[in-house]
Amino acid sequence: MRAIVTVIGKDAVGILAKVSTECANYNANVIEVTQSVIEDLFAMIMLVDISKLNIDFAEMAEKLAAKGENEWGLKVLAMHEDIFNCMHHI
């Protein structure tokens, strides 16, 4: 099982480290990362393995979003891969 984590916001030192550390806290393994900085705007997409999570996926998604908004000043969205699989079967 996999998920996509997207992060958007003002560029700052340590964004990748903060988000990947938080994923590690939930036992979500980062498989692949792509990021881009355009002027002062940061965008990142992470593919994470969620097969060994130590919490429910929905809870992880909520915690990432809350931390992004309240602590990091970022928009963080975690989506289960099933969302993308279903989109292509309709």
H or E element at residue 22: helix 15-25
Q: What is the mean pLDDT of residues 25-38?
A: 97
Torsion of CA 17, 23, 25, 27, to 10 degrees: -130
User: What pTM does this model have?
Assistant: 0.90
Higher pLDDT, 11 or 89: 11
pLDDT tier at 62, thresholds 50, 70, 90 = very high
Q: What is the mean pLDDT of residues 46-54?
A: 97
Q: What is the average pLDDT score of the chain?
A: 94
Q: Are 20 and 30 in contact (CB under 8 A)?
A: yes
Q: What is the mean pLDDT of residues 44-55?
A: 97
Q: Give 50's contacts (C-beta < 8 A, 6+ positions apart).
A: 1, 2, 3, 28, 57, 60, 80
Share above pLDDT 70 across residues of the chain, in percent, rounded to a whole number: 93
